Amino acid sequence: MSTSIAHGHLADIDRIAQVGQDRKRGGYSRHLWQAADLELREWFIQRAGDLNLDVETDRNGNIWAWWGPPGEGAVVTGSHLDSVPGGGAFDGPLGVISALEAVGRLQQAGVHPTKPFAILVFAEEEGSRFGVACLGSGLMTGKLDPARVLALSDADGITFADAAKHAGFSTSALGYDKEALSRIGVFIELHVEQGRGLIELGSPTALASSILAHGRWTLTFKGQGNHAGATLMADRDDPMVAAARAVLEIRDAALSFKGARATVGKISANPGGANVIASSVTMTLDARADSDESTRALVDDIVKRVGAKSVTEDSWSPEVRFDSDIATKLRKAIGEVPMLPSGAGHDAGVLADVAPTGMIFVRNPTGVSHAPEEFAELADCVAGIDALESVLRGLL
Ligand code: GLV
Ligand code: MN
Ligand code: MN
């Protein structure tokens, strides 16, 4: 099996294959308001234009492409175009591209929507640049405070407010968007599967049943900055050692909770010199489990074990159970498909308590995601588009 991107008539995957390639890490780094993100936004606007869709960007940077006049209670489908650092080609773009493909097919078949219909591209699902995931959907639904988001800063100390301004996006009306929400009558997100669920089930597609509760925290360990050569081992207060122990404790804590996952994906020593004992170390903690209570209990256990100087909660996403009526409608449109829980977070999860929401997963034969090896075979992508097209036909 090849992991190269050669998708024949799923040409959009190839068309955007050059955008945001990360030569250093491999894969893609496509982050909000940076060049690759802006280029992908332009690409999407053009593709929507080819389908005669009317494009507007909302107060929170999400892009809507309307087939027919905008209106309340619309059928909405879409996903995101940003990536994690060094991510794969499919997480996000597959949902956007499948939506464009499905609309193209429906138009060719002479379908005229009887309800408002839009493709929606959410801004910054991964939270890779500013640390908080699902910014576009979180702001729209009022789950994220705009003042907090404006002040978030990236690794170079650039705030969200400045980055948006530099990209020519006005943040004056950032936040809860009642009008946009009233337009979502139903939201369907197609997404590449991010684990091994569909490999094991032997099925090209599935519907999402739920999303694990999850959150992100920053842990800080303090010590005494000092000279790497002049300070005897016995005289050191090195926070890197405490941080290293913490990583092992975090792994052990997650192993002791059934089905839980905990990850330290980023660690940084301050000031960060090869011949300097750090004065502090910060690390991220991503923790997930199958209920809010068990995720909270896991994090409480971790905090007790690691003895960090400070622990800050950066984000919290409660467990999501997707609407069973929508799942029934989806099954009616596409036939019997398995249901899968998702270990990954999605904008669909943020919307799930404000609108009827469903998700379609497409098999990932590598079982790897958030890494360049993430993949989907053309035949499975086509099965996903077939499913989305049938679902949209049934809803329009
Ligand atoms: C998004 O993919 C997440 O689950 O972090
Ligand atoms: Mn995603
Ligand atoms: Mn992702």
**Rounded distance between C-alpha atoms, residue 102 and residue 53, angstroms:** 13
Of all atoms in ligand 1, which is nearest to the CA of residue 288? 4
Say what the pLDDT of residue 262 is: 98
pTM, two decimals, is 0.95
Tell me the CB-side half-sphere exposure of residue 105, using CA atoms within 13 A. Answer: 18
Domains of the chain with bracketed CATH? 11-212+319-395 (3.40.630.10), 214-317 (3.30.70.360)
Could you tell me how many residues make up the chain?
A: 396
Buried (b) or exposed (e) across 275-310, using 16+ Cβ within 10 A? Answer: eebbbbbbbbbbbbbbeeebbeebbebbeeebebee
Ligand 1 centre from 113 Cα, in Å?
A: 32
Say what the pLDDT of residue 9 is: 54
Ligand 2 centre from 188 Cα, in Å?
A: 13
Say what the pLDDT of residue 10 is: 72
The response to whether residue 139 sits with its C-beta less than 6 Å from ligand 1 reads: no
The response to whether residue 374 sits with its C-beta less than 6 Å from ligand 1 reads: no
Ligand 2 centre from 56 Cα, in Å?
A: 22
Of all atoms in ligand 1, which is nearest to the CA of residue 345? 4
Tell me the CB-side half-sphere exposure of residue 246, using CA atoms within 13 A. Answer: 28
Say what the pLDDT of residue 1 is: 36
The response to whether residue 133 sits with its C-beta less than 6 Å from ligand 1 reads: yes
Ligand 3 centre from 133 Cα, in Å?
A: 9
The response to whether residue 287 sits with its C-beta less than 6 Å from ligand 1 reads: no
**Sign of dihedral through CA atoms 73, 77, 81, 86?**
positive
Residues (pLDDT < 70) of the chain are 1-9
Say what the pLDDT of residue 11 is: 81
**Rounded distance between C-alpha atoms, residue 103 and residue 85, angstroms:** 30
Say what the pLDDT of residue 182 is: 98
